[in-house]
Amino acid sequence: MLGEGLAGRTAAGPLRVLEVGAGVGTMVERLWEWDVLPETAVEYTAVDVDEANVGAIPDRLTAWASGRAVTARAGGGTVELRGPGRTVTVDPVAAEASAFAAGTDREWDLLVGMALLDVLGVDRVPGLVSAVAPGGYWYFPVTFDGGTRFVPDHPADRAVERAYHRHMDGKPGGDSRAGSHALERLRTAATTSVEGVAGSDWVVRPDGDGYPGDEAYFLGYVLDTVEGALGELDDHGLGDTLDDWLATRRRQVESAELTYLTHQLDLLGRVDGSPA
Ligand SMILES: C[S@@+](CC[C@H](N)C(=O)[O-])C[C@H]1O[C@@H](n2cnc3c(N)ncnc32)[C@H](O)[C@@H]1O
């Protein structure tokens, strides 16, 4: 649906994409691999508040292109990806997302914010969407929506999940139910409509022979993150049970028994109006 809509927007010139919270540029790779970007010229502005992330984008995309039918040419801070029929020029920008959107007089055909709204804040959504041209699209995939589960069960699971989400909610802009809240905000907005919503949950699990790839490393990182978050609360309310929960979960990673599930929403919509 998104690919077809974008293909219809290229008559007037290059397709203009703004990604906020772009990290190290993985969404560029995905949109290319999924064939969502039209076979034309694409100007892709990749904004992230973390300078190290945006600084890594040219090298990462150059490495991604090698071994594919894609030629990468980095220079002057940008990277140009050229493949059959399609040229994507990625311009990495170190900036805060809302400040960037508010401070530009440019408009975009597509706004992307992946795994961002739970840290940015749903209140910022209208400001971001106002940078989209009439008839253009917004896409907020993998928006966290209040589910953090570990199995097998441990008696402290619910208390850990509640404390972890409380920590998220206490951060400036933090929202452990960002997916539902963004959906409601966008559904009721006057100048845009929601075109599609679906779950994009993660299920990280062992198969019959242990974890298939680097899941153990990833799960170790997740457990460190939970431990760090609960450690920042004045009182996580678990007492010594937290130590047992963490030790049990780490043992279960080592023995490839732990499954981790999170609930997220993909949100896609369109700003009212027709392209100029
Ligand atoms: C969970 S990561 C997602 C990265 C990327 N979208 C992906 O899915 O691979 C969130 C990213 O948002 C960035 N970020 C957080 N707050 C931001 C803000 N206010 N403005 C711009 N970027 C922000 C972080 O630096 C981080 O790179």
Taking only the tens place, the pLDDT of each residue in 169-206 is 999 999 999 999 999 999 999 899 999 999 999 999 99
Contact yes or no for 38/86 (Cβ under 8 A) = yes
- For ligand 1, say whether the CB of 50 is within 6 Å of any of its atoms: yes
Q: What is the distance between the alpha carbons of residues 242 and 257, in angstroms, rounded to a whole number? A: 19
CA 53 to centroid of chain Cα atoms: 14
Pocket test for ligand 1, best of 111, 116, 118, 139 (most atoms within 8 A of CB): 116
Which atom of ligand 1 is the closest one to the Cα of 96?
20
pLDDT at 12: 75
Going from the Cα of 144 to the center of ligand 1, the distance in angstroms, rounded, reads: 13
Ligand 1: centre distance to CA 93 (Å): 12
| 114 within ligand 1 shell (Cβ under 6 A) | yes
Render each residue's pLDDT in the chain as its tens digit; 276 residues: 899 999 887 777 899 999 999 999 999 999 999 999 998 899 999 999 999 999 999 999 999 999 899 999 999 899 999 998 899 999 999 999 999 999 999 999 999 999 999 999 999 999 999 999 999 999 999 999 999 999 999 999 999 999 999 999 999 999 999 999 999 999 999 899 999 999 999 999 999 889 999 999 999 999 999 999 999 999 999 999 999 999 999 999 999 999 999 999 999 999 998 877
Tokens representing 275 are 């392209």
Strand, coil or helix: 83: strand
Question: For ligand 1, is residue 97 a contact (CB within 6 Å)?
Answer: yes
What's the predicted TM-score (pTM) here? Answer: 0.94
| Closest of 101, 92, 103 to residue 61, by C-alpha | 92
Residue type for position 234: D
The H or E element that residue 55 is part of is: helix 51-65
Q: Answer yes or no: is the C-beta of 49 below 6 A from any ligand 1 atom.
A: yes
pLDDT in tens, 119-154: 999 999 999 999 999 999 999 999 999 999 999 999
* Among 82, 104, 84, 85, CA closest to 93: 104
Q: Would the CB of 54 count as within 6 Å of ligand 1? A: no
Span from the CA of 193 to the centroid of ligand 1 (angstroms): 24
**Cis peptide before 152, with omega less than 30 degrees from 0?**
yes
Round the CA-based radius of gyration of the chain to a whole number and report it. 20
Residue 231 and residue 225: Cα distance in Å, rounded?
10
- Ligand 1 within 6 A of 120 CB? yes
Burial per residue of 244-265, b for 16 or more beta-carbon CB atoms within 10 angstroms, e otherwise: ebbeebbebbeebebebebbbb
* Contact yes or no for 270/186 (Cβ under 8 A): no
Sequence-separated (6 or more) residues with CB below 8 Å from residue 194:
183, 186, 187, 267, 268, 269
Rounded (10°) CA dihedral 130, 133, 196, 35: -130
The dihedrals phi and psi of 154, each to the nearest 5 degrees, come to -130, 145
246 lines ligand 1 (CB under 6 A): no
At residue 225's C-alpha, the angle toward residues 213 and 206, to 5°, is 25
**201 pocket-lining for ligand 1 (C-beta < 6 Å):** no
Query: What is the residue type of 3?
Result: G
Strand 41-48 to 15-20 pairing: parallel
Confirm or reject: Cβ of 146 under 6 Å from ligand 1.
no
